[in-house]
Amino acid sequence: MTKNLCTPDPWTRLRSLTNARLALGRSGVSLPTAEILRFGLAHAQARDAVHQPLDVETLAHAFQMAGFTSLCVASQAPDRASYLRRPDLGRRLAPASASLLQNVATSPLPLVFVVADGLSSLATHSHALPLMQALLPYFPELRTLPVVIATQSRVALGDEIGQLLRARMVAVLIGERPGLSSPDSLGIYLTSGPRVGLTDAQRNCISNVRPEGLVYPEAARKLAFLIAGARQLGRTGVDLKDDSDAPGIAQSPETPVLPANEAPSHHTVCAI
């Protein structure tokens, strides 16, 4: 016997258009039992994702195999519990990591990439390298730039990293806070003239990089557009507008954004 205890919504077909929780139906005015359980499971999994540590060794190896040079650093947050309560610790390098970067710093760099765990190591592990590879057509010299893998890191850790490496810009690729439907969303923060103490108004952000969200080639195109814009404007932040979708702007991967012999003029960095 079928029990018609719930009022169904006759628009379930709209679910094909979005991952949002549409047409859930109702028990009276409330959520049906099936959705209560589905939601509860997703929340449990997202909670677990926050606490999963980034496998730095495996990630560094993957970057190496792809022809990139990577360095590993840690913030001043000793563990996840401290990281969650003390964002200030996640914005500064541990003394040993700061010394390491000071020792490797040579001539000024046009751009440094920071690959950071943030709040979802799953995002960083899954999407940072494919995104870097999608950037290669825009950046012939990409593999000559160091990739800094950072743990217990906030966006602003990129400011100190960029400053120590004398970078004119920093791009921080970082795991965003996990959502119920997207435990693996990567964010990109671009910051010109990285130095300790910058605010978010001085950055540009590209969010939700993942196969089900902003796909790698699109994210790479947007980032290349912002990097070119930041070089032209001399800064990042609210004055730099993302008009990459404007008609007539057809960014070609054949046009390198940063010339190989780029002279010192400005900086790039990202942070969360």
Partner 1 sequence: MQYSASVGVRRHVFADLKTLLAKASPLRSGDLLAGIAAASEEERMAARIALAEVPLMHFLQEMVVPYEADEVTRIIIDEHDAAAFSVVAGLTVGEFRDWLLSDATDGVALAALAPGLTPEMVAAVSKLMRNQDLILVAAKCEVITRFRNTLGLRGRLAVRLQPNHPTDDARGIAASMLDGLLYGAGDAVIGINPASDSLPAITTLLHLMDGFREQYAVPTQSCVLTHVTNTIRAIEKGAPVDLVFQSIGGTEAVNSSFGVTAAILEESMLAARSLKRGTLGDNVMYFETGQGSALSANGHHGADQQTLEARAYGLARRYQPLLVNTVVGFIGPEYLYDGKQIIRAGLEDHFCGKLLGLPMGCDICYTNHAEADQDDMDTLLTLLGVAGINFIIGVPGADDIMLNYQSTSFHDALYLRRVLNRRRAPEFEEWLEHMGIADYHGDLLPQTEQQPLLAMAGTNWGAHA
Chain residues that interact with partner 1, rule: CB under 8 A: 7, 9-11, 13-24, 26, 28-31, 35, 39, 42-43, 46-47, 49-50, 84-88, 119, 176-182, 185, 197, 199-201, 207-208, 212-214, 237-238, 241-247
> Collapsing DSSP states into helix, strand and coil, what is residue 214?
strand
Task: Report in angstroms how near the CB of residue 211 gets to partner 1 at its nearest.
Answer: 11
Least spacing, CB of residue 233 vs partner 1, in Å: 14
Distance of CA 246 to the CA centre of its chain: 23
Task: Please give the Cα distance from 146 to 68 (Å, whole number).
Answer: 7
For residue 52, give the 3-state DSSP assignment.
Answer: coil
CB of residue 48 to partner 1, shortest distance in Å: 9
Cβ closest to partner 1, residue 27 vs residue 69: 27
Of 35 and 55, which CB lies nearer to partner 1 in the complex structure?
35
| Closest CB 87 distance from partner 1, rounded Å | 5
Angle at 208 between CA 168 and CA 61, to 5 degrees: 65
Beta strands in 102-185 (DSSP E): 112-116, 147-151, 169-175
- Dihedral sign from CA coordinates of 12, 14, 20, 25: negative
CB of 147 to partner 1, least distance (A): 25
Nearer to partner 1, 148 or 224 (CB): 224
Nearer Cβ to partner 1, position 67 or 211?
A: 211
Strand order in the sheet with 70-74: 70-74, 147-151, 112-116, 169-175, 186-192, 203-209
Q: Is 94 left (phi over 0), alpha (psi -120 to 50) or beta?
A: beta
Which value, to the nearest 10 degrees, does the dihedral of the CA atoms of residues 43, 47, 48, 50 take?
140
Q: Is the dihedral of CA 57, 58, 64, 70 positive or negative?
A: negative
Q: Which residues pair with 43 in a beta bridge?
A: none
Instruction: Quote the least distance from Cβ 264 to partner 1, whole Å.
Output: 27
Smallest gap from Cβ 26 to partner 1, in A, equals 6
Give the closest residue to 98 by CA, choosing from 196, 202, 203.
Answer: 196
Q: Which residue, 14 or 104, has its beta carbon nearer to partner 1?
A: 14
Smaller CB separation from partner 1, 49 or 74: 49
Between 96 and 246, name the residue whose CB sits nearer to partner 1: 246
